[in-house]
Chains A and B, each alone.
Chain A
Amino acid sequence: MTFNVFLQHLTNGISLGSLYALVAIGYTMVYGILRLINFAHGDIFMMATYFTFYSIVIFGVPWYAAFMAVIVVTGALGILLEAAAYRPLRDAPRISIMISAIGASFLLENLAIVIFGGRPKAFPALELFTKVIKLGTVSIQRLTFFIPIMTLILLFVLLYLINHTKSGMAMRAVSKDFETSRLMGIDVNRTISFTFGIGSMLAAVGGIMWGMKFPQIQPLMGVMPGIKCFIAAVIGGIGNIHGAVIGGFILGLVEILLIAFLPDLTGYRDAFAFILLIIVLLFRPTGIMGEKIAEKV
């Protein structure tokens, strides 16, 4: 493999990794606050790509306005999902909440099949992002550079939000203890809604960029990336935002490079993420950045 080809794979890996990271943040935020795998997060991501498709292709909205609208609408969808599927089960046994999460995921997928149709659609190609630039013999889409930069900007905004604003402080408090937060005058339900909103908006950005990178969209497209991003969050240490980003990059890079170096294993591409997940769960269940928590007896 020449250096140029390697470079190509590397940039691809970084860009895929950044996408994983964006969506993984949503999983990790929800897990941090509710201790719940939001199974439907991948489907929120899918919804965002369809929203973009419809606003640009069908309604002819200019792309920048469409992106803004999609991010807002997807955030609202996340808040709606929380209110309908998770809030009523706040005090229910954990298994009920997990089943509700799975049910919500299936509901969104099947609604998408009914509303948008089961056949794949072509995501609009935007010259601005998809244009290929040549660096010597390496040809790379602009998008490939754009994605990691966007991810880093959003990451800094998010960290500022969490560490230096009142809402962020409320989120941190709620993630430690519902009851105490309530006593301190924090509106727990609002804070959880807020978390879902932010997580879903990040998923929306991820979905838009995913659509541009892999321009074929279909109702089940959120399933695999969703599971992989959850895996990224676990690898990094679930509940930890830095961890989610690191996990996303690791997963994206390793996945691309493994196939680049061992093309025979291409068929096992998706299995690889799961194997990584199981190894992490067994040997370091709290991930790279997670803290060890002892169970109270």
Chain B
Amino acid sequence: MKSKSLSQPSASLLVRIKERNVRLTLISILLLCLFLYYADKNFNAYQIRVLNLCAIYTVLGLSMNLINGFTGLFSLGHAGFMAIGAYTCALLTMPVAVKDQNFFLAPINETLREIVLPYPAALLIGGILAALIAFLIGAPVLRLRGDYLGIATLGFAEIIRIVITNLQTITNGAIGFKGIPAKTNLWWSFGIATFTTVFLLWLIKSSYGRAFKAIREDEIAAEAMGVSLFKHKVLSFVIGAFFAGVGGGLLGNLLGAINPLLFRFTLTFNILLIIVLGGMGSITGTVISAFVVTIGQEALRFLDQPFSLGFVQVPGISGLRMVVFSALLMLVVLFFSRGLMGTSEFSWDYIIDLFKRLGKPSGKPLSKGGTK
């Protein structure tokens, strides 16, 4: 741009701000590493497990937000993609002896029995397989809109689950797997969560990300502007499914045991809760919300056990926790439909602005996603 408006800061200042932001980001990542190192050494097994879950739900929430929040596709098939990732990754990481132990009803498929791969390769293959299935499903189904798409993707997730239940020699049927090697540790889960976050941030601010958002805002206008709906919907769906598959793999190798019941619609519901709470269309919101919801679900475990309100003794009621969470989802949708962050994103500029303004009353809204 040749003519410069007065409000525009000079180019050199912009470069300086950018360098500062990069520095701050690197420092934060370093701090995260230090924290993980500390946690790894000092936290107990339960705390580490919860932290791992937080990171895994971050991956899952982000992947679903890409499809639902950024591209505006109402997809309810996440549990299916996770199941593919989890089963693939578990099968590829279990040693031959463990596989033999698991398959006591019918012997495992010969080829699969022999294959044992390193964890990262297994995760990657799990993600790729989920993405491949998503491509096969998405090519026909993504023509549907709104709740029709929702119910069709939900249907496919169920079909995946039912197929898994019936493929005795590959998935061990309804029994599933036990003794999956506990390969998921803080470094893997947080490493992948960080990678997913950065990948999606970059994707969303790229031209492809803008095309996704255009589809969310108005399909007809997007198509009239030359955005191929089919190509971009499938892209978003497949990328989302890839990360869902990887997330599923992380989850399986964290829990150590999986079976088809784990991947019911309830699982998709949990992730939906995370993205609605965090704000559909906000990466920052999803990350915060993944931690809040996961830790919240753990913290509220007391609801399912007997507890005392001081004057009355409440007996343990299993399921009360889920009542709270479904009520919470409804409250958010009914009264705070934009969730925690709406479509806003975290930015260093805002944080620094905030520090500078401390004491001064007038606040500026967060910078909107997509603009620089």
Interface positions of A from 92 to 131, Cβ below 8 Å from B: 92-96, 98-100, 102-104, 106-107, 109-111, 113-114, 118
Closest chain-A Cβ to B361's Cβ sits at a distance in Å of 32
**27 A-B contacts, Cβ less than 8 Å apart?**
A37-B147, A37-B150, A89-B334, A94-B147, A96-B333, A99-B272, A100-B330, A103-B333, A104-B326, A107-B330, A110-B319, A110-B323, A113-B318, A114-B318, A114-B323, A118-B318, A227-B151, A227-B155, A227-B158, A268-B162, A268-B166, A271-B163, A274-B156, A274-B158, A278-B140, A278-B141, A297-B220
Contact with A along B158-190 (1 / 0, CB 8 A): 110011011000000000000000000000000
Task: Say whether chain A's binding surface is mostly helix, strand, loop, or mixed.
Answer: helix
Which residues of chain A are within 8 angstroms of B154 by Cβ–Cβ distance? 227
Closest chain-B Cβ to A113's Cβ sits at a distance in Å of 3
A97 and chain B: residue at smallest CB distance = B333
Interchain CB contact under 8 A, A278 and B330: no
Interchain CB contact under 8 A, B272 and A102: yes
Task: Say whether chain B's binding surface is mostly helix, strand, loop, or mixed.
Answer: helix
Interface positions of B from 317 to 333, Cβ below 8 Å from A: 317-320, 322-323, 325-327, 329-330, 333
Q: Is A67 in the interface zone, CB < 8 Å from B?
A: no
Most buried by A among B141, B147, B166: B147
Closest chain-A Cβ to B237's Cβ sits at a distance in Å of 15
Q: Is A58 in the interface zone, CB < 8 Å from B?
A: no
A interface size (C-beta, 8 A): 42
In the complex the two chains form, what is the Cα distance from A103 to B330 in whole Å? 6
Which residues of chain B are within 8 angstroms of A36 by Cβ–Cβ distance? 147
In the complex the two chains form, what is the Cα distance from A263 to B171 in whole Å? 21
Interchain CB contact under 8 A, A281 and B166: no
In the complex the two chains form, what is the Cα distance from A145 to B281 in whole Å? 53
**CB-contact partner of B146 in A88, A94, A114, A271, under 8 A:** A94
Closest chain-B Cβ to A29's Cβ sits at a distance in Å of 16
* Given contacts A36-B147, A37-B150, A85-B330, A274 and B155 within 8 Å (CB-CB): yes
Closest chain-A Cβ to B147's Cβ sits at a distance in Å of 5
In the complex the two chains form, what is the Cα distance from A225 to B140 in whole Å? 26
Which residues of chain A are within 8 angstroms of B280 by Cβ–Cβ distance? 95
Which residues of chain B are within 8 angstroms of A227 by Cβ–Cβ distance? 151, 154-155, 158
Which residues of chain B are within 8 angstroms of A282 by Cβ–Cβ distance? 140-141, 143-144
Q: Is A241 in the interface zone, CB < 8 Å from B?
A: no
* Given contacts A98-B74, A99-B272, A267-B166, A89 and B144 within 8 Å (CB-CB): no
Interchain CB contact under 8 A, A270 and B162: yes
Which residues of chain B are within 8 angstroms of A278 by Cβ–Cβ distance? 140-141, 152, 155-156
Interface positions of A from 240 to 297, Cβ below 8 Å from B: 267-268, 270-271, 274-275, 277-278, 281-282, 285, 295, 297
B146 and chain A: residue at smallest CB distance = A94
In the complex the two chains form, what is the Cα distance from A283 to B74 in whole Å? 20
Using a CB–CB cutoff of 8 Å, the interface residues on chain A facing chain B are 36-37, 85, 88-89, 92-96, 98-100, 102-104, 106-107, 109-111, 113-114, 118, 223, 227, 230-231, 234, 267-268, 270-271, 274-275, 277-278, 281-282, 285, 295, 297
Interchain CB contact under 8 A, B151 and A37: yes
In the complex the two chains form, what is the Cα distance from A252 to B144 in whole Å? 25
Using a CB–CB cutoff of 8 Å, the interface residues on chain B facing chain A are 68, 72, 74, 140-141, 143-144, 146-148, 150-152, 154-156, 158-159, 162-163, 165-166, 220, 265-266, 269, 272, 276, 280, 317-320, 322-323, 325-327, 329-330, 333-334, 337
* Given contacts A267-B166, A268-B162, A270-B162, A285 and B144 within 8 Å (CB-CB): yes
In the complex the two chains form, what is the Cα distance from A92 to B162 in whole Å? 35
Which residues of chain B are within 8 angstroms of A113 by Cβ–Cβ distance? 318-319, 322
In the complex the two chains form, what is the Cα distance from A168 to B218 in whole Å? 35
Which residues of chain B are within 8 angstroms of A37 by Cβ–Cβ distance? 147, 150-151
Which residues of chain B are within 8 angstroms of A94 by Cβ–Cβ distance? 146-147
A116 and chain B: residue at smallest CB distance = B319
Which residues of chain B are within 8 angstroms of A114 by Cβ–Cβ distance? 317-320, 323
In the complex the two chains form, what is the Cα distance from A100 to B333 in whole Å? 6
Interchain CB contact under 8 A, B323 and A270: no
In the complex the two chains form, what is the Cα distance from A281 to B325 in whole Å? 32
Closest chain-A Cβ to B48's Cβ sits at a distance in Å of 29
In the complex the two chains form, what is the Cα distance from A271 to B260 in whole Å? 14
Interchain CB contact under 8 A, B147 and A104: no
Interchain CB contact under 8 A, B327 and A107: yes
A265 and chain B: residue at smallest CB distance = B166
Interchain CB contact under 8 A, A267 and B152: no
In the complex the two chains form, what is the Cα distance from A94 to B216 in whole Å? 12
Which residues of chain A are within 8 angstroms of B156 by Cβ–Cβ distance? 274, 278
In the complex the two chains form, what is the Cα distance from A100 to B272 in whole Å? 11
A297 and chain B: residue at smallest CB distance = B220
Interchain CB contact under 8 A, A100 and B150: no
* Given contacts A107-B326, A267-B165, A281-B144, A88 and B272 within 8 Å (CB-CB): no
Interchain CB contact under 8 A, B155 and A277: yes
In the complex the two chains form, what is the Cα distance from A93 to B318 in whole Å? 34
In the complex the two chains form, what is the Cα distance from A98 to B76 in whole Å? 11
Which residues of chain B are within 8 angstroms of A268 by Cβ–Cβ distance? 162-163, 166
* 4 further contact pairs, Cβ within 8 A, besides A98-B74, A274-B158, A278-B140: A106-B325, A110-B319, A271-B159, A295-B220
In the complex the two chains form, what is the Cα distance from A285 to B323 in whole Å? 35
In the complex the two chains form, what is the Cα distance from A99 to B166 in whole Å? 31
B154 and chain A: residue at smallest CB distance = A227
Which residues of chain B are within 8 angstroms of A99 by Cβ–Cβ distance? 272, 276, 329, 333
Interchain CB contact under 8 A, B318 and A98: no
In the complex the two chains form, what is the Cα distance from A103 to B268 in whole Å? 12
Which residues of chain A are within 8 angstroms of B265 by Cβ–Cβ distance? 223
In the complex the two chains form, what is the Cα distance from A102 to B319 in whole Å? 17
In the complex the two chains form, what is the Cα distance from A37 to B166 in whole Å? 29
Most buried by B among A85, A103, A107, A277: A103
Q: A-B pairs with the 10 shortest C-beta distances? A: A113-B319, A274-B155, A106-B326, A103-B330, A107-B326, A103-B329, A110-B322, A271-B162, A267-B166, A110-B323
Closest chain-A Cβ to B172's Cβ sits at a distance in Å of 14
Most buried by A among B156, B220, B265, B334: B334
